[in-house]
Amino acid sequence: MAQSIILELQSLATSRQNDITDLLRKALLVASKLHLDDFKNWINSELHGYRQNDIPEYRKISSELKVKNPYHGLQPFVLGNQKLADLICNIEIRDAIESLENLLRQNSRDNNFLSVPLSHSQQASLMELQGDFVQLPVVRIIGRNQVAAIIDAVRTRILEWALQLEEEGIIGNGLTFSESEKYKALESASINIHNFQGVLGDISNSTMDLNLTQTITKNDFDSLANTLKSNSVEDSDIEKLYSALLEDPEPTQSGKFGTKVSAWIGTMISKASSGSWDIGIGAASSLLATAISKYYGL
């Protein structure tokens, strides 16, 4: 049996000496082969930078304003308007993670701080606030440790993800995964990125969860069927789910369904993958697992 890429990910993620970009590329390979689209999007954002998407909490940091005094070096610049201070000092770090690593490498280890540029309009406004005094350039200062913490957060998240995959029995053979492993990955709630909190921030699909809570009643199949119909599930597939629900024992844990229901979900995800059900794979897995859990009252 070839070395598992999941175990290789775990090994690479445990040391800061290993390149974070290489780690992310290997994680992208895994996410692609397991059809975990949400993970692919997150990894691609880390590799290429966050452009229009919302960014995780660990990439939101605070800075300090300083003026560059030619005689006394950097001096504090105090803003009396707290809203303006928050607007300028709270920063979203959207750069690709390789740029952050290069930034840390290029700056001297003796320098514990980094400068984050202000826009021309921000710079002009802050210099005007200095009034009749000699107008000095203003800079935003962040700690090197804040940038390093972003890289560590990504490394930790990949390690936790790889450990969760192994716990679910998804380790692969070299660079390949069996069909059962792919199904487990899509079905599992514990490795769904919507459940990631802390390191990634709470990015759960609260709108979907709220809507399903309001529309699906425990043990009321009609409410479940109506929700599935509104998401383009065909009547014939809904009838098959009804039969599966009757045959399977009632689960006690969300996402841990009986064999018949699990097989039905697998069939639906295959339809999403092939394009015969007009919904993305990641959305399909999340929708079905959440909807059926609400039906069971979980």
Q: What pLDDT, in 10s, does the model give residues 149-203?
A: 999 999 988 998 999 899 888 988 888 888 888 888 877 766 655 544 434 443 3
pLDDT tier at 108 (50, 70, 90 boundaries)? low
Can you tell me whether residue 138 is helix, strand or coil? strand
Token reading at 295: 């039906």
| pLDDT reported for residue 243 | 92
Q: Are strands 113-116 and 73-76 parallel, antiparallel or unpaired?
A: unpaired
Can you tell me whether residue 141 is helix, strand or coil? strand
pLDDT tier at 43 (50, 70, 90 boundaries)? very high
**Taking residues 72-85, what's their average pLDDT?**
75
Burial class of residue 164 in the structure, from the number of CB atoms within 10 Å of its CB (0-12 exposed, 13-18 middle, 19+ buried): middle
Q: What pLDDT, in 10s, does the model give residues 17-31?
A: 889 999 999 999 999
Token reading at 214: 């309001």
Domains of the chain, by residue range, sit at 5-55+150-178, 57-99+106-148, 206-296
Residues β-bridged to residue 66: 76, 139
Token reading at 32: 């692609």
Average pLDDT, the chain: 79
